[in-house]
Amino acid sequence: MSDALRGILWLPLLALFVWLARAGWCEYQNVEAYRRWSASFERAKYDIYAVLGQKGALVTWGKPARPVPADIESFSLADVEAVQLLVDERPTNPSTAPEQGKAAIAFALSDRTIAVPFTQPRLAARWTEVLQQEWQLWHTDSTNPSSFNQSDA
């Protein structure tokens, strides 16, 4: 076999390696952008569908992108009328969430509903439970829970 033919046979493998390296670099850049963005939140999540962060009553979400997440939107849990887990676009109890399905957390505001998508229903269920507890604090207590000091607890 000639050297030229061997070189031609290796060319597709080289192209595949370059493509994989580029795809890995792009994903690394997305994760780094999320890491920087999420640093200011108490809890945050990143997946291919959405980024979500919470700090006190403020919930912020958007679409993962470089150099920062895109279509960022924020709202207060104090303005939310209900927090609900949706799996396959149907309301689901977080404690009985299935392993698979199209999951989202729906935040009902007075003028619209915001559905934040998740790749994993179980992760969405855990987030829903935490956000429902936080939401309860903002709707059952007349004082702002973020004003409590650690020494008050």
- pLDDT bin (cut points 50, 70, 90) of residue 16 is very high
Q: What is the pLDDT of residue 141?
A: 57
pLDDT tens digits, one per residue of 96-138: 889 899 999 999 998 999 999 999 999 999 999 999 998 988 8
Sheet holding 80-87, edge to edge: 90-92, 80-87, 103-109, 113-118
Residues whose CB falls within 8 Å of the CB of residue 49, separated by 6 or more in sequence, listed in order: 63, 64, 117, 118, 119
Q: What is the pLDDT of residue 101?
A: 92
Half-sphere exposure of 145 (CA within 13 A, CB side): 16
> Which CATH architecture describes the domain 3-143?
Roll (2.30)
Say which range, 43-47, 87-91, 149-153, has the weakest mean pLDDT.
Answer: 149-153
Say what percent of the chain tops pLDDT 90. Answer: 54
Domain ranges of the chain: 3-143
Say which range, 9-13, 41-45, 113-117, has the weakest mean pLDDT.
Answer: 9-13
23 has pLDDT over 50: yes
Q: What is the pLDDT of residue 1?
A: 66
148 has pLDDT over 60: no
Q: What is the pLDDT of residue 153?
A: 34
